[in-house]
Amino acid sequence: MSPAEKRYFKLHVSRNAAAGHTNQQELFDAIAAMERYDEKKIRKNFAAAAFMRSFPITKRRLYEAVLASLDAFHSESSIDEKLRRMLHHVELLHRRALYSDAAKVLQGARTLAGTHQKYALLLQIAEWERRMMERGNYSGVTTANLAERVDSVEGIASQWQEVDRLWQLKSEVFLLIYRSGQAAQGTDLSRLDSLQDEFLLQEGVALHSSRSRFLHHHVRSALAYAKNQLVQCEGHLAACAAVLRNEPHAFQEEPDLLLGVMGNLANVRMRMGQHQQALDGFRAFRLIPLQLATAPCPDLEMKLFVMGSSLELSVRSVQGDFLGAMEQLTGLEEGLARYGERASTMRRAELALHAAYACFGGGAYDMCLRWCNRLLNEKGIVEHTELHALGRMMNVMTLVELEKEELLNYLLRNTQRHLKQHGTPFAAEQLLLDHVAAHLKTDQQQARSALWKSFAEQLHTVVDELHRAAVLDHIDLLCWAKAKAQGRAFHELVREKWSTPYKTGGASTRGSGRRKAA
């Protein structure tokens, strides 16, 4: 809670508590003074207090009092909250037979909801309008009025259904992406193809709200991303940003949408080889929080930490500035300690992968292993197929660098058992596992050099298929193979690739280092 919220809670409790009843205030002050909640300390400090005999009930009442206080404090903090309060006022006035006043408040609510395209609340407003017509026995209501109302409600309902259908499509796409990443195979790939044929996702389809237009391009950008079609993805992300900037009335309470779009744009452009545009986008991303009218709420703070950390580490790593990326890891640890429980398993795992890759490129292999273990030990990480595979690959690569052959033999057997139970590996992962298995069977330097060269050539074949190349965008396996084959430092090759000029309009995946005409 902010200092202002805490002050308001004290006023709220003093106004609503019985005379001399300060249990909630005392308990609140004791908890607020703690850096982390410690119930043992609370029980010790208040051992003699009567309310400790039923402490679970006391805690529950305090929790409800805090929520009631926050509800009152933030009663005008959002459009949705204003509309809900207005509808409550309509109900209060209606019960007191102040029908004219209720109608005026309801008309104001309709105008506000219409301006901000709050379709669910507009349907609630329509319900009250219906009740008011019935209350007056349809006095002054004509057949034309009823027909007009039908058109209005049908329009609101259809717009709500349009948004809801697009949201459903978005969720189905992201469910596949979060599970399989950019390496969907088999039935997942077929499902992506079928989603792309949906009517609401077709070019030039007539859409009826800002939210629908945003979701249309958002879903299409996600579909393109899932298939590693980066040029199309960039175009739809740019269209998303245009909707958010040109129609801000519908999104003024969701600054995280623009943050997400700008972060994704920077990442996609970086992978396409549009280096300057990517860096400009990264700088624009970092400025957005400074341009907000109010301080970020805890939810937005968490999202800023996750998105900002991920983008910062990505940018530095793709530039080959692994030491610079490693300098960010202290802040990453602190942020994970503060926000980690609020972030999803996938987001924590992504950050761990970025950290592991930075340590790998910086030659801090023991640190890399710790971050790999952190990723692989995340509860539920097996569901996120691509991230789990990348964590395994990073683990294998690190053990190769450390020349831990005994551990590598164990890890290869363990990985193969896992793959038999949970599905087939990605093409790049299988190549890596096969290469390491062959690598362990020979100790002759010349033979190993030939194996590294062959491994790099095989990876080239894999990255010629755009869909399969996507896995290599997260860790530059091809650059690593080339570095080992040439006896050079990994970070040098990554840095050279970043500094290599790209043709105008060219596109390249970071993992492959290829140029492909847009």
Instruction: With beta carbons less than 8 A apart as the criterion, state whether 126 and 153 touch.
Output: yes
d(CA 382, CA 387): 8
**pLDDT tens figures, 301-353:** 888 899 889 989 998 998 899 999 999 999 999 999 998 888 889 999 999 99
Give yes or no: residues 152 and 227 share one domain. Answer: yes
Spatial CA neighbour of 479 closest among 361, 391, 308: 361
- Any idea which of 107-121, 180-194, 210-224 has the lowest mean pLDDT? 180-194
Query: 3-state secondary structure string, 361-377?
Result: HCCCHHHHHHHHHHHHC
Residue with tokens 């950390």: 309
Given this model, what pLDDT does residue 22 score? 67
Q: Which of 141, 174, 192 is the last residue of a domain?
A: 141
Out of 120, 141, 162, a domain closes at: 141
| Domain identity same for 191 and 265 | yes
Give the pLDDT band (50/70/90) at residue 178: confident
What's the domain count of the chain? 3
pLDDT score recorded for residue 249: 85
Q: Rounded CA gap, 50 and 196, in Å?
A: 63
Lowest mean pLDDT across 105-114, 220-229, 464-473: 464-473
Confidence tier at 17 by pLDDT (50, 70, 90): low
Length of the chain: 518
Instruction: Give a yes or no: residue 47 inside a domain.
Output: yes
Does 127 share its domain with 243? no
Q: What is the mean pLDDT of residues 97-102?
A: 89
- Bridge partners for 517 per DSSP: 506
Specify whether 63 is located in the same domain as 101: no
Q: Is residue 514 part of a domain?
A: no
The secondary structure of 139-189 as a DSSP string is: TT--HHHHHHHHHHHHHHHHHHHHHHHHHHHHHHHHHHHHHHTT---HHHH
Domain assignment present for residue 287? The answer is no
The alpha carbon of residue 270 and the mean position of all alpha carbons in its chain are separated, in whole angstroms, by 19
Mean pLDDT of the region 355-380: 95
In this prediction, residue 516 carries a pLDDT of: 31
**Cα dihedral across residues 278, 309, 477, 446: positive or negative:** positive
- Of 231, 260, 275, the residue at which a domain comes to its end is 275
Residue 513 reports pLDDT greater than 50:
no
Q: 227 is in which domain, residue-wise? A: 148-275
The b-or-e profile of 352-361 (16+ CB within 10 A means b, else e) is: bbbbbbbbbb
Higher local confidence (pLDDT), 16 or 142: 142
Instruction: Please say whether the beta carbons of 69 and 8 come within 8 A.
Output: yes
| Cα–Cα distance for residue pair 143/246, rounded to 1 Å | 39
Q: Does the pLDDT at position 483 exceed 70?
A: yes
Pair 103, 185 in one domain? no
Residue 242 pLDDT level (bands cut at 50, 70, 90):
very high
pLDDT at 165 over 70: yes
Would 67 be classed as within a structural domain? Answer: yes
Share the mean pLDDT of the chain. Answer: 84
Q: In the prediction, which pLDDT does 215 show?
A: 96
Q: pLDDT: is 471 or 316 the higher one?
A: 316
Q: Give 436-442's long-range contacts (Cβ < 8 A, gap of 24+).
A: 436/396, 436/400, 436/408, 436/412, 437/412, 439/400, 440/405, 440/408, 440/409, 440/412
What long-range pairs does 278-284 form, CB within 8 A, spacing at least 24? 278/315, 279/315, 282/311, 282/312, 282/315
Q: What is the pLDDT of residues 50-77, one digit of tens each?
A: 788 788 888 888 888 888 887 777 766 7
Q: Both 51 and 118 in a single domain?
A: no
Average pLDDT over residues 104-128: 90
pLDDT > 90 fraction of the chain, expressed in percent and rounded:
34
Does residue 110 fall inside a structural domain? yes
**Whether residues 83 and 164 fall in one domain:** no
Helix residue ranges per DSSP H, 181-229: 186-196, 210-226
Q: How confident is the model at residue 18 (pLDDT cuts 50, 70, 90)?
A: low
pLDDT (0 to 100) of residue 503 = 43
Q: What pLDDT score does 504 carry?
A: 37
Please, are residues 135 and 96 in contact by the beta-carbon 8 Å criterion? no
Task: Give the Cα separation of 130 and 107 in Å (integer).
Answer: 13
Q: Give a yes or no: residue 367 inside a domain.
A: no
Side chain identity, residue 145: N
Q: What is the pLDDT of residues 249-268, one digit of tens each?
A: 888 878 889 888 998 998 88
Structure tokens given for 261: 């779009």
Residues 104 and 133 in one domain: yes
240 found inside a domain: yes
Long-range (24+ apart) CB contacts under 8 A made by 328-333 are 328/358, 329/355, 329/358, 329/359, 329/367
Residue of 232, 226, 315, 238 whose CA lies nearest to 278: 315
Q: What is the pLDDT of residues 394-404, one digit of tens each?
A: 999 999 999 99
Tokens of 32: 């607020």
Residues 119 and 186 in one domain: no
Residue-by-residue DSSP string for 478-517:
HHHHHHHHHT--HHHHHHHHHHS---TTEE--TTT---EE
CA distance 496 to 477: 15
pLDDT of residue 19: 44
Q: Is residue 31 located within the same domain as residue 51?
A: yes
pLDDT the model gives residue 35: 78
Whether residue 170 is found in the same domain as residue 254: yes
Range ranked top by mean pLDDT from 27-41, 160-174, 270-284? 160-174
Q: Please report which confidence band the pLDDT of residue 469 belongs to, taking 50, 70 and 90 as the band edges.
A: low
Same-domain status, 163 and 233: yes
Residue type, 488: R
pLDDT, position 349: 94
pTM: 0.76
